[in-house]
Structure 1
Amino acid sequence: MTSFIEEVIIDIHEKSLNVSELTFVLPSKRAGVFLKHELSKVFKSTFFAPEILSTETFVETLSNLQYINNTELIFEFYDVYLKVTPKENVEPFDQFYKWAQILLQDFNEIDRYLVAPQNIFDYLTAIKEIEHHHWSVDENQTDYIKNYLAFWKRLKQYYELLNDQLISKRKGYQGLVYREAVNNLEQFTIANQEKTFVFVGFNALNKAEETIIQELLQQDIAIIYWDLDQRFFKDSIHDAGMFIRQHKANWPYFRKNPINWLSNNYSKPKNIDIIGTPKNIGQVKYIGELLQRLKNEKNSLKNTAVVLGNESLLMPLLNSMPEDIGPINITMGLPLNAIPLASLFEKLFAIQKSTSKTLYYKDVITILSHQFIKPLLVDNDIDHADIIIDHIQNNNIANITAKGITELAPSKTELLELLFNNWNNNSRRGLSNCSKLIMSIKAFLDKDKSKQLLSLEYLYRFNEIFNTLGLMLTKHEHIESINTLHGLYRELIKNETLDFKGEPLQGLQIMGMLESRVLDFETVIIASVNEGVLPAGKSNNSFIPFDVKIENNLPTYKEKDAVYTYHFYRLLQRANTVFLVYNTEPDVLQGNEKSRFITQLEIDDTHNINHYIVSPKVPAIQQSLTQIKKTDAVLSRIKEIAEKGFSPSSLTNYIRNPIDFYKQKILGIKEFDDVEETVATNTLGTTIHNTLEDFYTPYIGKELTSKNVEAMKPKIHDTVLKHFKNEYKKGDTTKGKNLIIFEIAKRYVSNFLDLEIDALQQGNTIKIISVEEDNKVKIDIPELDFPVYLTGKVDRIDEFNGTTRIIDYKSGKVEASKVKISQWEDLTTDYDKYSKPFQILAYAYMLNSKKPFTAPVEAGIISFKNLGSGFLKFTENKNTLISQETLENYTVELRNLILEICNPNIEFIEKEV
């Protein structure tokens, strides 16, 4: 393969031009490295290297202005805005910042394309007045209408005053620099008659660039080399050749001079594979495997490039690389907002922008658990971060003060104050805290520099960012609020990168689409060949309407798509092997289906194209249910549990799934105890249970009267609140969902008391026998050589018209059908149907074991979500009384269940869910 740059150098050599006296102008700085390399290969004798400039550097030299960075430009614009805008209409900087970025982009386009400003701004003003004609002619215009129309009239003033102010400081944004370069063009050409400028590899040019290059060509002090294939030049509708066809047709220079030059490389045989793979991570994993295969086949990845359409895939790609990949050169730079340290400062800004006087526990835990913070909170093997997090979780603290955090770790007060003390919306204080935090992290990392080089590099770059912000703060008084500071911080880390160091002429090249300009590779892998990425598609970030852009020859999304089309096909021109990888899973909102470039290639039919859909290798895993053998240690633990007592809930847990019983009772594994932001169901249930216990305990052994129950009602609020505080600890029940749940708990208790009052007023008698009574009884199982007990707490036992009732409260909804049984054999096999009867019969069994029943006994459930159904009685084939026969049948099933649990030959076998 002969690269485009090599072809250019060979042509210059054949024309016997003095290379040392040439000035090469290239689309990017990166191409200059490759150009120097090709010069050394073609020219064998010693010579002075020519001057090699990027387009922007060349134009900057021509304009006598210096490029201003985007952040400084925003401040210059705000100064202009304050001068032009009436004081009553002035917006604070953080509001201005949001729309000023878009307007500056429009100013940039207007200047780059040398559009007369009045053509745009007068047109825009007129359009707005026409669009809102009824506003304009209304005699009683509101202030809003007046301000809206006045804003559009001021755009021209903003533009003119900003340009004057920048030129007076010899600075300019890109468009202004280009316009000034054109203004200086005549003087420049006179001063440089002895030079020859060589423009290499250009395609889409703005009006200013066109004017500059055409003038230098007309003055015979320039040569231009285009890189386009005949195939696209001759196709009048192919976007890849759109711009160069226009130049050929419109430039006077080409009426007398040939175009240098049109190659014929695209039609040469190529291996093109189009690979669809699910999700972005699937793309980079596939590329990693592909690179390994290519390296094994060729023993080298020289002349191979991975071009990322979506540059955010850089880090996942690097993590997917084979270990023996060899030299890699990365030209893109890693955006600082993709570095782990960015998430720390983002979270710090987020908590400072909050108007709350307390800190949300998840934000606190995120910061304390951050990889750059957690090690700083370890002191003499004591992890203060864990201590604070445990305290928050154990006490159910959803919101905490900064003081509350520092009190939990007094030895780390200074660091915790840096992290959590309020900046009081003071940008200077915020900057100072961030800088001090960076120095604290640095002091820790310095203890083991050799292992922390990358982290220190991250830290250094962020220190530079905050130093830059500090410099801005001293220069500009507009950075007053944390909102403004955060916006500037985001702008800086979005545009700043952590650059990689590599050898650009060796090994695998990883780059973005724009970095590939002028460069050629034998093997090209392009990722994210999806609509919305390649090409980027429509964008509306502009104050200038589409029709106004068309009228003034400003670029629209069509021209931007054509730029990507050119770069895409140019990469394919000289390549022998091409892999196009795309995401097969379109985004629901954005679309991002397979790129039109792929469809175009398939329809074009110039090359044989192989289309594959690949997916991760997912081995067929047989779903095997977990089985746990009962070792001596497990059997020993079962004996301990048996002696302590099986609870009805633990036995029904075994019925539901023996593995759950094994994990919770044998291994003692508890569910993760996170902060309970919204009152959980079990907390609600416990609160109701405890409230009713308080109400009914004084009446144990007594008959209730309606007055007794009426006297309980005024105490509902305070008693429920007391038990909520006991269970929910420091959780807030005064607002939101928690307030609703608190009111529900009160309503449940009140409705239950109303049910009792109604029953008593109808002439029924209710005598309270016990409330929340603990029970532990021995179960006679001769087959076992160790004692077995059943234990549990009965919510309430009473006598209702002489019938003893064993009552279990349920805060959830229970239907009458859930407390019925017809076949005793099903009791220990079907959890969903019979867990409720199993539990209430367990309570009946325990009470009968302590004192055999003599009076009629019923057992059942009161469901607070189904209070209308009253007392839901256990029913066996329509019989609601608990007889000795009932208990004997239950005892058989209970013993069999416990024997199964204790049997060393029966494993804990997981049930299918």
Structure 2
Amino acid sequence: MLHQKFLQKVISEILEKSSDLSGFSFIIPGKRPVVFIKEILKEKNYNGILPEFFTIDEMVHKISQKQEIKGIALWLFAYQTYTQLYQDEDLATFLKWFPTLQKDWDDMLKFHGNDKEILEWMLAEERIKNWGENLGDEEGARKRNLNFWRKMNAFLPFLKEKLEEQQLATSGMIHLYTKENLENYCKNFNLRAVFIGFNAFTPVEEKLVRTLLQWDKADIFFHADEYYFHDERQEAGKFLREYKTWKEFNDSRDFNWIENEFSIDKNIKVYEVSGNIAQTKVLPEILSEIHTENSDYQNTAVVLLDENLLPAALDSLASVEKLNITMGFPLKNLAFSNAMKKLFHLHKQLEKNASSYYYNDILPILDELPKNFKDENIIKNFIATLEERNIVYISKNQLSELLNGLSFYNLFEKQDAETLLNTLIQFCKNLKYSEIDNVQYENISHFEKSFVIIKNQLSPYQYQVKIETLEVLINQLINSESIDFVGEPLEGLQLMGLLETRLLNFENIILLSANEGKLPLGNSQNTYLPFDVRKQFNLHTFLENDGIYAYHFYRFLQNAKNIYLLYNALGSGINTGEKTRFITQIEMESQHKIEHIIIENTSEPINQEPITIEKTPSVLEKLEEWKQKVSPSHLVTYLYNPIDFYLDKILNTRETTEIEEELSQRNYGTLVHNALEYLYEKIIGKILKVNDLENLLQQVDESIDKAIERLKHQPEFYEKGMNFVHKQIAKRVVESVLNYDLELVKKGNALEIVALERKIENIAFKIDDNNEVTFYGFIDRIDILNGTLRIIDYKTAKPKNLKIKIEEAKIETLFFEDKYKQAMQLCMYQYCISQMDEFKNREIETGIWSFAEVSNGVQNVEFVKGNFEDSLVSVKNLILEILNPEVPFTEKVHESWN
């Protein structure tokens, strides 16, 4: 049993007054401590009837004798009421502001009681004058604000009237009715109320407590500490200091209790952690420090101020045998919830344009929804088709053709909001009968329940609901929902949120996300009422909320012995990377010494040694196969990085194809290649005349379209954005190549296209007495210019290092540097062509024609020193190194090249 010091003390005090608790009503801040109270009574051998247990909220509702309306039911009722006064907004727009206004309205009724007075003040001349001076030139903002409050002055009283007609009440109205009925309720109250561990009351709650105390029908026990109670600077004691002044506390009734526990020596450690998730990785280390091997952790609590850390925390606590989770995991963060968000986004897009689907709207939904084996295969083939054909925008027919067999295909069909809601309800029902884990089941069940609630709530109204409206309703519901865990709160390690710690004590506390902005929340209140208005009418501001958070924090710490406070030191988004000011307060205002520990989250690789792959017999066997089909590009890959060569040529791995939203450099090069091939194949084998090339210039647009078709790309892919620009550049390059050749012919040069994409195969290359390889590949263009055979390789990049100077000492290893990769490729092409019967004994030139500088024409390989035969020596030696069993494949680490 946990050492619940405060609750033990309260129960002992009550049992001293009465051995029979059947006439008592225990009022507590939340329901969780009930299990501990029962356990304490059991320990004290109490055998009588248990007292009633209420939260103070439940008691207020009971006194009001009204049915509360909230959530979607209230929003729809309010919208119907609003439309009776104004017809200027649809439901979706209304829902974007009304939930915030409703909370403000509830605050007006709870803390001030007279909402009309505040609403009128929002339009009062004095306020407008002072407020307007700070607006400067923002006249439009001023008019919009005044118009809004003018409407609210009419709408909110009308809404209250309509709710009263239906015997319904909002949370704020409940407090008003409670105030009216309170005197009579307290007079007839025939039990003894025990208020336990409260810190902050609304005015009506305070009146309830004080009235019962006056008539001696109640006891109240506070859990305070001298540290924050007597120090006026400490916001944690703000409300308790006020309550101490109640006239109900006098010589005959003490203010119980103000302890002096916080000053007792504590082991406090603050961890500055680089990263949010990284905080959870420190948990095992801290737990091992606190506990011996046989400990059951029963006096330890891990508190998460950021509920999103729950999955990571559970992962880090996997070795803890007994773990009780007393906090919900936000529904909005689960995979199914993300899929639903994306599904609504997709349907909003379909409302705007039903003719096609953007691929990235579809893929995440397919990825995150639960699916069966048949679905998996359909999706796999669907993605493969998209990647192969680079489909960015999918037509309705294509989607039907590719995904029609999917068990949930109807989710992707365009439908109105009402039909979509029915589709989603049926989808969730079907999913619950499939093989899914418990968390998924809970997630899907919550959504099904939400969809059914929305359907039922909408049915009495004749609203034209759009997809966006449906999305807002779902989001409002889901954002406040969480999946609760069931566990054993009386043993093992407790994992909880800060509010779940109320009334409980632990010796060992580990608190994560102790950042400013998380503890306290700070000025992040979602409200339409300015700070000065809230202050003027005694409505809670962020300052009061900070005081409430401060109390929870210090009260939780006051009885602890070992305290570990972790915070994320990395600033990102709303996280400042700054520790909570409460830590600084403890350092400066208490006698406690704090040990600071910095946890660096380094991202250095564990091993920086380059990868080395030995040439085992199986690798050598693969190399023997490779010898039968050696491409110049293989040697280029080896030069750049032997490991890439190993992965590609030995393991036969391939990089996965990805859908390109913007044309890649490789596909841009292929597009131009294909267009040039389409044009020039029409004139192969003839000495070109001017009109041959002029005719081709008229067909450039057609050639680009054919090239796109050959790439299996959609024409729509090139209709806008950068892809349109790439297409125009490709067209310009093709025209420039044709024009360059046209100028050659016009000047009297004899030009003949001999071959395009000429295949090289079965060209033997003897390396030494034991080794021979066979070359293969494709040459982009072979032509004859004025009797000289030209081997031309098209490149998107600029040519580099085509002037070769072979020193005597460099003959063996000339091409061992990747800077000569283009020259090596061309020398290998020259060797292959020279071995073909049709080209033997011809004068040969090899060169690169770059698409980046077409006007420079073909730039040839030139031997400044040495010759072509010398270059082949280094090619042989490079191949010998690849085949050498003693030379492993070793990773090269260097910057990428073009």
Q: Does the CA contact (< 8 Å) of 2:344 and 2:471 recur in 1?
A: yes
Counterpart for residue 178 of structure 1: 175
Counterpart for residue 845 of structure 1: 831
Q: CA–CA distance in 2 between the matches of 1:499 and 1:376?
A: 32
| Letter of the 2:92 counterpart | D
Alignment of 1:117-266 (within 5 A): 117-126=115-124, 129-130=128-129, 149-192=146-189, 194-249=190-245, 251-254=246-249, 258-266=254-262
Q: Does the CA contact (< 8 Å) of 2:684 and 2:753 recur in 1?
A: yes
Q: Does the CA contact (< 8 Å) of 1:117 and 1:156 recur in 2?
A: no
Q: CA–CA distance in 1 between the matches of 2:617 and 2:19?
A: 92
Q: CA–CA distance in 2 between the matches of 1:417 and 1:12?
A: 63
Shift of 1:168: 3.2
- State the Cα deviation string for residues 298-325 of structure 1 (Å, max 9, x = none): 62211221211112222222222133x2
Counterpart for residue 858 of structure 2: 871
Give the TM-score, by structure 2 length. 0.91
- Out of 339, 348, 355, the position equivalent to 1:344 is 339
- State the Cα deviation string for residues 775-794 of structure 1 (Å, max 9, x = none): 34634426254542222322
Shift of 1:237: 0.6
Q: CA–CA distance in 2 between the matches of 1:400 and 1:179?
A: 57
Q: Does the CA contact (< 8 Å) of 2:302 and 2:511 recur in 1?
A: yes
SS in 1 for 2:207: helix
- Are 1:41 and 2:40 matched, yes or no? no
- Out of 649, 662, 666, the position equivalent to 2:650 is 666
Counterpart for residue 419 of structure 1: 411
Shift of 1:818: 5.7
Shift of 1:654: 1.2
Q: CA–CA distance in 1 between the matches of 2:53 and 2:174?
A: 20
- Are 1:311 and 2:307 matched, yes or no? yes
Alignment of 1:514-553 (within 5 A): 514-553=499-538
Counterpart for residue 477 of structure 1: 462
Go from structure 1 to structure 2 and tell me whether the alpha carbon gap of 1:99 and 1:409 turns closer, same or farther (over 3 Å shift): closer
| Letter of the 1:417 counterpart | Y
Alignment of 1:307-706 (within 5 A): 307-323=303-319, 325-354=320-349, 355-357=352-354, 358-370=356-368, 372-375=370-373, 377=375, 383-408=377-402, 412=405, 415-423=407-415, 426-445=416-435, 452-453=437-438, 455-478=440-463, 480-587=465-572, 590-615=575-600, 621-644=606-629, 646-706=630-690
Counterpart for residue 76 of structure 1: 77
Go from structure 1 to structure 2 and tell me whether the alpha carbon gap of 1:84 and 1:822 turns closer, same or farther (over 3 Å shift): farther
Shift of 1:815: 4.7
Give the TM-score, by structure 1 length. 0.90
Q: Does the CA contact (< 8 Å) of 1:778 and 1:787 recur in 2?
A: no
SS in 1 for 2:658: coil
- Please say which of residues 208-217 and 198-207 is displaced more in the overlay: 208-217
SS in 2 for 1:744: helix
Go from structure 1 to structure 2 and tell me whether the alpha carbon gap of 1:150 and 1:586 turns closer, same or farther (over 3 Å shift): closer
Counterpart for residue 868 of structure 2: 887
Shift of 1:536: 0.8
Q: CA–CA distance in 2 between the matches of 1:175 and 1:17?
A: 38
Counterpart for residue 93 of structure 1: 91
Q: Does the CA contact (< 8 Å) of 1:765 and 1:800 recur in 2?
A: yes
| Letter of the 1:343 counterpart | N
SS in 2 for 1:673: coil
SS in 2 for 1:693: helix
Go from structure 1 to structure 2 and tell me whether the alpha carbon gap of 1:406 and 1:416 turns closer, same or farther (over 3 Å shift): farther
Percent of aligned pairs with the same amino acid: 32
Q: CA–CA distance in 2 between the matches of 1:866 and 1:231?
A: 78
| Letter of the 1:778 counterpart | I
Counterpart for residue 828 of structure 1: 815
Q: Does the CA contact (< 8 Å) of 2:20 and 2:48 recur in 1?
A: no
Shift of 1:4: 1.4
Shift of 1:903: 2.6
Q: Does the CA contact (< 8 Å) of 2:307 and 2:330 recur in 1?
A: no
Shift of 1:808: 1.5
Shift of 1:17: 7.8
- State the Cα deviation string for residues 116-174 of structure 1 (Å, max 9, x = none): 223321221236854797999x9xx99x9977643321212222122222333333222
Counterpart for residue 14 of structure 2: 12
| Letter of the 1:663 counterpart | L
Go from structure 1 to structure 2 and tell me whether the alpha carbon gap of 1:548 and 1:97 turns closer, same or farther (over 3 Å shift): same
| Letter of the 2:270 counterpart | I
Counterpart for residue 882 of structure 1: none
Q: CA–CA distance in 2 between the matches of 1:712 and 1:533?
A: 69
Alignment of 1:898-909 (within 5 A): 898-909=879-890
Q: Does the CA contact (< 8 Å) of 1:815 and 1:866 recur in 2?
A: no
Q: CA–CA distance in 1 between the matches of 2:880 and 2:675?
A: 38
Q: CA–CA distance in 2 between the matches of 1:268 and 1:479?
A: 64
Q: CA–CA distance in 2 between the matches of 1:436 and 1:401?
A: 26
Q: Does the CA contact (< 8 Å) of 1:114 and 1:208 recur in 2?
A: no
| Letter of the 1:835 counterpart | K
Q: Does the CA contact (< 8 Å) of 1:118 and 1:156 recur in 2?
A: yes
Shift of 1:271: 1.5
Q: Does the CA contact (< 8 Å) of 1:307 and 1:524 recur in 2?
A: yes
Shift of 1:395: 2.8
| Letter of the 2:409 counterpart | E
SS in 2 for 1:242: helix
Q: CA–CA distance in 1 between the matches of 2:878 and 2:759?
A: 22
SS in 2 for 1:20: coil
RMSD over aligned Cα, in angstroms?
3.0
- Please say which of residues 868-877 and 311-320 is displaced more in the overlay: 868-877
SS in 1 for 2:434: helix
Unpaired segments of 5 or more residues in structure 2?
A: none
Go from structure 1 to structure 2 and tell me whether the alpha carbon gap of 1:572 and 1:817 turns closer, same or farther (over 3 Å shift): same
Alignment of 1:712-861 (within 5 A): 712-730=696-714, 732-762=717-747, 764-776=749-761, 778-781=763-766, 783-785=768-770, 787-812=772-797, 814-815=798-799, 817=801, 820-821=804-805, 823=807, 824-825=810-811, 827-831=814-818, 833-850=819-836, 857-861=844-848
Shift of 1:478: 3.1
Q: Does the CA contact (< 8 Å) of 1:402 and 1:417 recur in 2?
A: no
SS in 1 for 2:47: coil
| Letter of the 1:74 counterpart | W
Shift of 1:515: 1.4
Q: How many residues align?
A: 880
Shift of 1:822: 5.2
| Letter of the 2:669 counterpart | G
SS in 1 for 2:194: strand
Q: CA–CA distance in 1 between the matches of 2:773 and 2:560?
A: 79
Shift of 1:203: 1.1
Following TM superposition, the consecutive aligned residue runs of length 4 or more in structure 1 with deviations greater than 6 angstroms are 131-136, 144-147, 616-620
- Out of 681, 692, 701, the position equivalent to 1:708 is 692
- State the Cα deviation string for residues 235-258 of structure 1 (Å, max 9, x = none): 111111111112334x34347654
- Out of 97, 113, 116, the position equivalent to 2:114 is 116
- Please say which of residues 26-35 and 455-464 is displaced more in the overlay: 455-464
Q: Does the CA contact (< 8 Å) of 2:686 and 2:752 recur in 1?
A: yes
